[in-house]
Chains A and B, each alone.
Chain A
Amino acid sequence: MTETEQAADRRPPNPVQNLAKINERDRNRFDDDLFFQTRCISCGLCSSSCPISGRREFDPRKIVRMADLGQTRELVESEWPWMCTLCDKCGHVCPSGVNIPEIIRKIRGMREKEKIPGVLGKGIDAAIKTGNNLSLPRDDFEFILEDVADEIAQEKGFEDFVVPIEKKNAAILTTIHNKLVNTHTEDLKPWWKIFHAAKEDWTIPSVNWEGTNWGLFTGDDESMEIMAGRIADNMERLGAKNLLWPE
């Protein structure tokens, strides 16, 4: 065996046996040039710039090439698309304008929900149903926020601290990352205190407050739109002027 063949042997996933099959372009699901992947000239700038290239054989150039060759199934089944941080450094340096993060998202979106890694799939279902990834009821949410607010109010200088929930016409409306009302409630305090000291006019909605949009993460455009839409609705409903979305 040649060195290349040996090297090829070490690679996951499936070797492609018949090139004639390689080029099946499924136009319904992976539009031919939607992300300009046919423009890729294999220059390697993306691979050279990617912060995780080489980790477990992640290589943006390879992913673009596989997309171009129609190896959609292999990409959907591999772990690579889930390793990407969507930083878009690759897209930024690409001389052909290939939209690599979008390719990654698209592939993620093609995986069946049950097979999505970790809790992401379940989280999306919960968010669509209840407005947040934890299925945390409204009352519990408000209780947690007020509990933290009470603790702040016991500190010197913050005796008048109150957390403004569902305040109308505020200058700022903020979303909440679900972990802040789950395992990391202490992390609410520092920025709340800053708002207070700055006498900021702000509010937290008590419904659809989830800022962590796993529809974005998983390439599920429909869910992503729904969740983003709910935040927009909140803005309208509460008449807030600016949206703070720390995500």
Chain B
Amino acid sequence: MARHVAKARRAGSSPRASHLTDTILESPMPDKKALIIGAGPAGLSAAIELAKQNIDSILIERSPFAGGHGIYFACKAAESCVKCGACMVEEKIRDAEKNPRITIISGARIKTISHLAPFAVTLQTDGKKRSLSGDALILATGFKPFDPENKPYGYKRFKNVVTHLELEQIIRETGMARRPSDGKPPDRVAFIQCVGSRDSSLGHAWCSKVCCGSALRMAALIKSKRPETQITFFYIDVQNFGKDFVSFYEKIKNEIRMIRSIPGDIFEISGQGLSMSWFDKETDAPVEQIVDMAVLSVGMTPRRPEFLADLLVSDPTEKQSGNGFISESETARLADRGIFVAGAAQGPMSIEDSISDGGFSAFNAAAYIKKQAQKNGPKKTG
């Protein structure tokens, strides 16, 4: 049957809500708990949702702090909130930390993990070994930012070439964009989009979704704090972001220079700055310009922790997504066994969607736990 018609039909039969199947009403689950691997926005959100359903959870986090990559993001409000969701990460951290049902173990390395319920996990933290067990498992392991070292932009060679995550961090810590070389605000900034995304030579045939929003919001912030800053935005296709995309984009595209081309090499010319060049198709001529700071919008790449293979117990007949993120079919197989996947571990995702997805996976995990409890509950006599 024609593919698009099949799709419409499938949507019509609404598998949308068929995750939401029979469960009983909330009753406290005193002995039940979930283990959540990763305390980023998705993991935190899952824990909070589980707690609301009276289920305890333990968050196992690799780094020394909760929040994942979310804690690098700055508030980019100029005169008003731009709805990037960065502050929501703080809120989730606060809510999780003060919730008695939620425990966060940070600085933890997972040593072993069982692939069936009850999930036994051994981990190393603070030099000590710990064993945990859970009735459901949620994988919220997030992503790895692309390292643009091998792109011709001089990342790690020239101080003032940074990734968009690093610029977010600079803004978060100092309130505005500043050059790493001397801490002064830049006069000329170039944003280069799609670095490491939409790149089939790297095997990254995906759009990382959030970088257009992050870069343009930072550009708007820079412009509002220092209107004299010259900003150039190099892109391929601008993606939508937020509910106010239409008005936001309409405004920003007239305030900065938007160039639908990606520049080639960046060189440093001492005394002047970073030299970059691109081809202007309207004048059929190469253009060279000097900027103080180049911001590379790096893509989200998969982070497949070692224990994932143990969990997946791979099936040779299974269709892989091929891009390295946890695929739809992998997610389905894991759900069969009480393992749920939340957030950017499945593919590039915004903070907002990661929060939603965390709640969603918790919903499913809770349903699973309750189902198992029912199955294994006291048998009826007679």
Q: Is there direct touching of A and B in the complex, by C-beta distance under 8 Å? A: yes
Spell out A's residues near B (CB within 8 Å). 7, 39, 41-45, 47-50, 53-54, 57, 59, 61-62, 89, 93-97
Are A44 and B261 touching (Cβ within 8 A)?
A: yes
Q: Does B199 contact A (CB under 8 A)?
A: yes
Given A41-B236, A48-B286, also A59-B281 (CB < 8 A): yes
A221–B346 Cα gap in the complex (Å)? 46
Are A43 and B236 touching (Cβ within 8 A)?
A: yes
A49–B152 Cα gap in the complex (Å)? 9
A39–B199 Cα gap in the complex (Å)? 10
Given A48-B263, A95-B200, A96-B201, also A61-B279 (CB < 8 A): yes
Are A48 and B284 touching (Cβ within 8 A)?
A: no
Are B284 and A61 touching (Cβ within 8 A)?
A: no
Q: Which of B194, B201, B265, B278 has the most CB of A within 10 A?
A: B201
Are B278 and A44 touching (Cβ within 8 A)?
A: yes
Interface code B261-291, partner A: CB below 8 Å = 1, 0 otherwise?
Answer: 1111100000000000111011011100000
Interface code B236-269, partner A: CB below 8 Å = 1, 0 otherwise?
Answer: 1000000000000000000000001111110000
Are A7 and B282 touching (Cβ within 8 A)?
A: yes
Partner of A96, one of B200, B264, B277, B284: B200
Contacting residues, chain B, for A95 (C-beta < 8 A): 194, 198-202
A93–B199 Cα gap in the complex (Å)? 10
Closest to A92 in B: B152
CB distance from B215 to the nearest CB of A (A): 16
Given A43-B236, A54-B286, A95-B198, also A49-B281 (CB < 8 A): no
A41–B207 Cα gap in the complex (Å)? 12
Closest 4 CB pairs of A and B: A44-B261, A47-B279, A49-B264, A48-B264
Spell out B's residues near A (CB within 8 Å). 151-152, 194, 198-202, 236, 260-265, 277-279, 281-282, 284-286
Given A49-B265, A93-B152, A96-B200, also A44-B279 (CB < 8 A): yes
Given A43-B236, A44-B260, A48-B262, also A54-B198 (CB < 8 A): no
A161–B262 Cα gap in the complex (Å)? 56
Contacting residues, chain B, for A61 (C-beta < 8 A): 279, 281
Q: Which of B202, B278, B284 has the most CB of A within 10 A?
A: B284
Are B284 and A54 touching (Cβ within 8 A)?
A: yes
Are B201 and A48 touching (Cβ within 8 A)?
A: no
Contacting residues, chain B, for A62 (C-beta < 8 A): 281
Contacting residues, chain A, for B202 (C-beta < 8 A): 95
Are B284 and A43 touching (Cβ within 8 A)?
A: no
Contacting residues, chain A, for B263 (C-beta < 8 A): 45, 48
Contacting residues, chain A, for B198 (C-beta < 8 A): 41, 43, 95
Given A44-B262, A44-B278, A95-B201: 16 more A-B contacts, CB < 8 Å: A41-B198, A41-B236, A43-B262, A44-B260, A44-B261, A44-B281, A45-B263, A47-B261, A47-B279, A48-B263, A48-B278, A48-B286, A50-B264, A54-B285, A59-B284, A95-B202
A39–B194 Cα gap in the complex (Å)? 15
Are B264 and A93 touching (Cβ within 8 A)?
A: yes
CB distance from B183 to the nearest CB of A (A): 30
CB distance from B84 to the nearest CB of A (A): 26
A61–B264 Cα gap in the complex (Å)? 13
A231–B210 Cα gap in the complex (Å)? 55
Are B279 and A48 touching (Cβ within 8 A)?
A: yes
CB distance from A41 to the nearest CB of B (A): 6
CB distance from A233 to the nearest CB of B (A): 36
Closest to B282 in A: A7
CB distance from A221 to the nearest CB of B (A): 25
Are B200 and A45 touching (Cβ within 8 A)?
A: no
Contacting residues, chain A, for B265 (C-beta < 8 A): 49
Are B277 and A48 touching (Cβ within 8 A)?
A: yes
Contacting residues, chain B, for A41 (C-beta < 8 A): 198, 236
CB distance from B150 to the nearest CB of A (A): 10
A59–B282 Cα gap in the complex (Å)? 12
CB distance from A68 to the nearest CB of B (A): 15
Are B281 and A47 touching (Cβ within 8 A)?
A: yes
CB distance from B234 to the nearest CB of A (A): 9
A95–B148 Cα gap in the complex (Å)? 13
A89–B201 Cα gap in the complex (Å)? 14
Closest to B280 in A: A54
Contacting residues, chain A, for B284 (C-beta < 8 A): 54, 57, 59
Given A47-B261, A59-B284, A95-B201, also A42-B279 (CB < 8 A): no
Closest to B201 in A: A97
Are B236 and A42 touching (Cβ within 8 A)?
A: yes
A42–B278 Cα gap in the complex (Å)? 13
A57–B286 Cα gap in the complex (Å)? 10
Are A53 and B200 touching (Cβ within 8 A)?
A: no
13 contacts between A and B (CB under 8 A): A39-B200, A41-B236, A43-B262, A44-B260, A44-B279, A45-B262, A48-B278, A48-B279, A49-B264, A49-B265, A54-B285, A57-B284, A95-B202
A89–B279 Cα gap in the complex (Å)? 14
